[in-house]
Amino acid sequence: MLNRFALRALLVALPLLLLAACGDDKGAQAKPNGNAAERPIPVTTQVVQASAWNDTLQALGTAKARESVTLTAKVSEIVQDVHFESGQQVAAGQKLITLKGDAAQASLVQAEATYAEAERLYRRQKELADQQLIARSQLDTQLALRDAAAARVRQARADIGDRSVRAPFAGVLGIRQVSPGSLITANSSIATLDDISRMYVDFQVPEAALASVATGHAVTAATTAYPGETFQGTVETVDARIDPTTRAVTVRAVFPNPDRKLRPGMLLDVRLFRPERQALVIPEIAVVQVGRDSFVYRVKADGSVEQAPITAGVRRDGRVEIVEGLAAGERIVIDGTGKLRPGVKVADAAPAAPAKQDAPVADSQG
């Protein structure tokens, strides 16, 4: 009977002993995990410092040629010869078209003959006047006739000159609009001529920013025609008047165009750089946006982090200016913000690669 009772007690106590052993194992495992939760979270931090910074004004501008004209003729006449092709680069004074000038040439011959006769009569009467054989008034009359004949010669030559259309300046011609044998008038377009070695870009700046815009300021421009390419220019002129309707002033920038990539009429995204100044600038990835609120994680002296509300200014090239909320010398988290919450402790991330390889920078000054 005793052996049966002892066996039954042993069977009852054995499960309790097993449960107690499992509980001790779980407690032993929970302790290391608890220590892991208290370990600092690896992040990348940076000390906030003042650095050189440029404010920018953004606007849309239209490209214009430095010189631009639509070529026309002064007279109505038949085109005799065309001396250019569409898109040709021409020099200043180069002949572009020749108009028929038979009538003008005949008028010149007649005018020259009249002048020659008037000149001979003037010289003869001058000899007679010197001998006092004719009145001086008669000589003066002949002098006037000679000068009038000379003026008609100059007019006839100018009429012949009008039969040739020349380039008023060096540039690139547009599409040809005339052909030999066609009749053109003073309103007929021959072609366009643009000097695009330098381009003007006009854009508007708000009245409030007028004081910070001056001749010589740097300007950049971009166009969808050349994605990823930026053109460099400078402010050449600030208009003397402000538009009373838009309360904006027109600014003209000049852009060198040696490759002839910019064309008249192009729409450009213009950025005007204000004078350089010192500002607190941090990487844009450090800013956490929640609705309309922005903040960064600031590292306290004990290694824990707190949320620091900020007011951001201009953003450019992956960096952002901090207007309010931070001071120079404070340390913030710039990478790894997604795993943080106020109060947790952080540590600069250790290089994950061997020393021979490039390791990530744990902390950068400025």
Place of tokens 């009249």: 114
Q: What distance lies between CA 334 and its chain's CA centroid?
A: 31
For the CA atoms of the chain, what is the radius of gyration? 44
Cα 194 to Cα 266: distance, rounded to the nearest angstrom: 14
Confidence band of 301 (pLDDT split at 50, 70, 90): confident
Quote the mean pLDDT of the chain: 83
Please check the confidence at residue 313 and state whether its pLDDT lies above 90: no
Q: How far is 324 from 333, CA to CA, in rounded Å?
A: 17
Q: How confident is the model at residue 291 (pLDDT cuts 50, 70, 90)?
A: confident
Question: What pLDDT, on the 0 to 100 scale, is given for residue 162?
Answer: 81
3-state secondary structure of 261: coil
**59-73, 183-197, 314-328, 348-362: range with lowest mean pLDDT:** 348-362
- pLDDT-derived band at 4 (thresholds 50, 70, 90) equals low
Res. 20: pLDDT tops 60: no
pLDDT at 307 over 80: yes
Nearest to 342 by CA among 299, 278, 284: 299
CA angle 52, 58, 63 (to 5 degrees): 120
Cα angle, residue 251 at apex, residues 249 and 254 outer, rounded to 5°: 175
334: Cβ–Cβ under 8 A, 6 or more apart, which residues?
Answer: 44, 45, 46, 282, 283, 285, 286
Domains, in order of start, for the chain: 41-53+278-353+361-365 (2.40.420.20), 57-65+197-276 (2.40.30.170), 101-162 (1.10.287.470)
User: At 204, which helix (H) or strand (E)?
Assistant: strand 191-206
Q: E-assigned strands of 74-185?
A: 77-82, 89-90, 95-99, 164-166, 171-173, 183-184
So what's the pLDDT on residue 150? 92
pLDDT tens for residues 90-111? 999 999 999 987 777 888 888 8
| Over residues 310-329, mean pLDDT | 86
Using 50, 70 and 90 to split pLDDT, how confident is the model at 127?
confident
Tokens at 303, concatenated: 């290694």
Residue 297 has what pLDDT? 92
- Of the pLDDT bands very low, low, confident and very high (cuts 50, 70, 90), residue 56 is confident
Which comes out higher in pLDDT, residue 167 or 339?
167
Q: Burial code of 41-73, b = ≥16 C-beta within 10 A, e = fewer? A: eebbbbebeeeebbbebebebebbbbbbeebeb
Say if residue 274's pLDDT is above 90.
no
143-161 pLDDT, tens digit each: 999 999 999 999 888 888 7
Give Cβ neighbours of residue 112 (< 8 Å, ≥ 6 apart): 153, 156
pLDDT at 346: 87
pLDDT given for residue 248 in this prediction:
93
The predicted-structure confidence for 157-179, as pLDDT tens digits, reads as follows 888 878 889 999 999 999 999 99
Q: What whole-number distance in Å separates Cα of residue 338 and Cα of residue 335?
A: 8
pLDDT band at 355 (very low <50, low <70, confident <90, very high): very low
Q: How confident is the model at residue 360 (pLDDT cuts 50, 70, 90)?
A: very low
Whether the pLDDT of residue 75 is over 90: the answer is no
